[in-house]
């Protein structure tokens, strides 16, 4: 029941967030590792089962664990739940419950009805996750963190389009290049809005946002070349991203 177990789960399941957490101060890592490891668990729950009902059971297990944390009950012994209970208050647990609840959409094969529905899903997953992490680390304006979370979540979602399509899903409500470009532009707008209000996020809470910076280049590429999203847009090299993370961590300019 150690943070090392959460860190290893995160390293294997979400290398981007692992690198971002490692760039944060050591005290912040103790908060970020269990929160982001929780996200790995619920994000993969719908994909490692043979039928939707089994995915529902997995997600409900996490929702029950979060309800126990919110109610102040003794947490169940688990490599992620136990350390998570040590860093989450009732409101934080409810935010993460929203993440788990939203992941039920991944059990369905039906596409999102429209762009608004897709953006609501990303806010409920990436937005709730980032806000839960930021508020656990320090004072911050929720709207700023959610804008940053939506931008980062949208970049990650567009990056996942080829894999989702390979799994037989229809990830985008409208796959035409102009619609994809419009989504990417919305992500860039949200990130710009968040950065314009960076001072409304304390340095402590900002440690949760160190990973959002890479969304800027990915969204710019998706907007400029939307047809490439279906094939997978090029990513910044790991070495360049590590250097960028070090700079963000030292300056606080996520």
Residues 6 or more apart whose Cβ sits within 8 Å of residue 238: none
Question: pLDDT tens, 83-116?
Answer: 999 999 999 999 999 999 999 999 987 889 999 9
pTM: 0.95
Contact 197, 141 (CB under 8 A): yes
User: What pLDDT was estimated at residue 84?
Assistant: 97
Residues 6 or more apart whose Cβ sits within 8 Å of residue 135: 91, 92, 142, 145, 205
Confidence of residue 1 (pLDDT cuts 50, 70, 90): low
Assign 140 to helix, strand or coil. strand
CB atoms within 10 A of CB 236: 16
* Virtual torsion, Cα 11, 106, 134, 246, nearest 10 deg: 40
Confidence of residue 241 (pLDDT cuts 50, 70, 90): confident
User: What pLDDT was estimated at residue 209?
Assistant: 98
Of 17, 37, 144, 124, the residue nearest 88 (C-alpha): 37
Contact 83, 1 (CB under 8 A): yes
**Is the predicted pLDDT of residue 222 greater than 90, yes or no?**
yes
pLDDT, mean over the chain = 95
Confidence of residue 141 (pLDDT cuts 50, 70, 90): very high
Question: pLDDT tens, 56-89?
Answer: 999 999 999 999 999 999 888 999 999 999 999 9
Assign 201 to helix, strand or coil. strand
Q: Give me the DSSP letters along 40-52.
A: HHHHHGGGSSSSH
Question: pLDDT tens, 150-207?
Answer: 999 999 999 999 999 999 899 999 999 999 999 999 999 999 999 999 999 999 999 9
User: What pLDDT was estimated at residue 75?
Assistant: 85
Of 47, 42, 14, the residue nearest 168 (C-alpha): 47
C-alpha span between 71 and 17 (Å, rounded):
28
**Is the predicted pLDDT of residue 234 greater than 80, yes or no?**
no
**Is the predicted pLDDT of residue 242 greater than 90, yes or no?**
no
Of 69, 70, 42, 39, the residue nearest 58 (C-alpha): 42
């Amino acid at each position: 029941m150690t943070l090392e177990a959460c860190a290893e789960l995160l390293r294997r399941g979400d290398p981007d967030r692992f690198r971002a957490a490692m760039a944060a101060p050591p005290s912040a890592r103790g908060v970020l590792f269990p929160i982001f490891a929780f996200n790995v668990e619920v994000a993969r729950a719908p994909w490692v089962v043979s039928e939707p009902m089994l995915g529902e059971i997995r997600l409900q297990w996490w929702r029950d664990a979060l309800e126990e944390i919110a109610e102040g009950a003794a947490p169940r012994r688990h490599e992620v739940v136990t350390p998570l209970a040590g860093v989450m208050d009732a409101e934080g647990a409810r935010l993460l419950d929203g993440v788990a609840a939203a992941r039920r959409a991944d059990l369905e094969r039906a596409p999102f009805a429209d762009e608004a529905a897709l953006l609501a899903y990303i806010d409920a997953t990436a937005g709730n996750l980032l806000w839960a992490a930021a508020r656990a680390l320090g004072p911050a304006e929720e709207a700023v963190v959610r804008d940053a979370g939506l931008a980062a979540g949208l970049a990650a979602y567009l990056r996942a389009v080829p894999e989702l399509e390979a799994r037989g899903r229809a990830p985008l409500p409208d796959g035409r290049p102009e619609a994809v470009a419009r989504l990417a532009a919305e992500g860039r707008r949200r990130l710009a809005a968040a950065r314009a209000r960076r001072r409304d996020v304390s340095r402590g809470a900002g440690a949760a946002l160190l990973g959002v910076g890479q969304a800027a280049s990915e969204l710019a590429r998706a907007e400029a070349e939307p047809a490439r999203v279906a094939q997978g847009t090029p990513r910044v090299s790991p070495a360049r991203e590590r250097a960028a993370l070090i700079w963000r961590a030292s300056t606080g300019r996520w």
